[in-house]
Amino acid sequence: MFVLGIDPGLSRCGYGCVALDGGRERAVAAGVVTTDRELAVPERLATLRGDLRELVVELAPDVVVVERVFFQTNVRTAMSVGQASGVALLTASEAGCDIAEYSSNEVKLAVAGYGSATKEQVQRMVATLLGLGQPPRPPDAADALALALCHIATSRTSRLGVVGVARRAGAGLPAGAGGAAGVAR
């Protein structure tokens, strides 16, 4: 399985590609696509689409996973994230990729074992699950890798008929969070 996660944003759109090789997850690519804030929104969306199309062609993922946008307190941010999300979904669809969407809480639960985990906890678990020495930077790339890991975990548990993910000790979650969960291995 080869999964491209996309953390949508108009100014900064994170991407992270994870391969599942022999039952182990491996980071293949991660980074951020940016657009020029001086350009008009339609031009920025066109730039984002072109860059995402190049990524999809270059990486050839089996699945593209996009964070599902629910609610933002800043309406302007919510609009631009929604627009970027639409561009990502369109690009994946045009490329013929399977598409999945997960909410932030679903990603946190699958990767850190706790739906209210902090960004830092999720980033540390991404590093642990992928065998990286430190959390990926920038945070948008780490979030995109977490989306890819969430899809792999969800796919595994769906195939096995298991609800949830395997528990592992030592993830550094807050007391009472029920321990740590990682991607089922």
Q: Which residues are catalytic?
A: 7, 67, 140
Q: For the purposes of burial, counting CB atoms within 10 Å of the CB of 31, is it exposed (0-12), middle (13-18) or buried (19 or more)?
A: middle
Distances (CA, A) of 71 to 29, 31, 32, 96, 139: 28, 25, 22, 28, 20
166, amino acid identity: A
Residues 6 or more apart whose Cβ sits within 8 Å of residue 157: 163, 164, 165, 184
Q: Which residues contact 39 (CB under 8 A, 6 or more apart)?
A: 47
Residue 98 to residue 143: CA distance in whole angstroms: 20
Tokens of 130: 């992928």
Rounded (10°) angle between helices 139-160 and 119-129: 70
**Terminal C-alpha separation, the chain:** 14
